[in-house]
Amino acid sequence: MAERPTTSALVISIQNPKGGCGKTTIATNLARAIQLDGFETVILDTDTQGSTRDWRARSPADYDGPRVERATNAGSLGRVVDEHGESVDTVVIDGSARLGEHTGSVVAVSDVLLIPVQPSALDLWGTVEFMDTVETASEEIPLSPAFVASRKDPRTNLSDQIHEALTVYNLPVLEGTSQRVAYAYAAQDGQTVLDGYDSKAAAEVNTLLDDVAELAA
């Protein structure tokens, strides 16, 4: 497990070892929102699949979005966070899609931990084992964890989909993102919904930013 970083930068991680839960979508859009709010931001891509790296590689040459750095060595993650934290205000970590040493390392270096959950029984069940890691870490380090709804039906109230199933963990459940094609279109272009793709999607991301700011306070 990685050592706790000493950087003064805020470290926000998006982690759930359940694959396909929307980690990269939340990481890239939230990082862009933080950047547009006036804070220097870097994204650390810890997944061997390199989804965030690939997203940034598709960006237009003149796109001024957050830079992406690779950080796939679990043991050195704390050092990498410190290294990049020297020149930015916020480090956003896109977590790995597997349960293992890297999962614990991401949790260990975080100030705020966002756990994306899709509104399906399989996704909720897949989160249970990971929560043992989160609960243990929360007892040992100053960590602010919260669930984030991912790809929810925008026509349905969040509480009807996942809120009741998650109350056993006694963590905040943030509204997060909806199932909107704008997220996919923006990702294909190496950009985010905040870059002129969809005002409703952009509003969701900005609401998430406000919620994260409260967690970090």
pTM, full prediction:
0.92
- What is the rounded CA–CA span in Å between residue 140 and residue 123? 27
Element (H, E) at 116: strand 112-117
Average pLDDT of the residues of the chain: 88
pLDDT per residue as tens digits for the range 76-101: 999 999 999 999 999 999 998 765 66
Contact 85, 36 (CB under 8 A): no
Residue 1 predicted with pLDDT over 70: no
Element (H, E) at 67: strand 67-70
Average pLDDT value for residue range 66-70 = 96
pLDDT per residue as tens digits for the range 9-40: 999 999 987 777 899 999 999 999 999 999 99
Pair of tokens at residue 46: 């810890």
- For 50: left if phi > 0, alpha if psi spans -120 to 50, otherwise beta; the answer is left
pLDDT per residue as tens digits for the range 44-63: 999 888 999 999 999 999 99
pLDDT given at position 120: 65
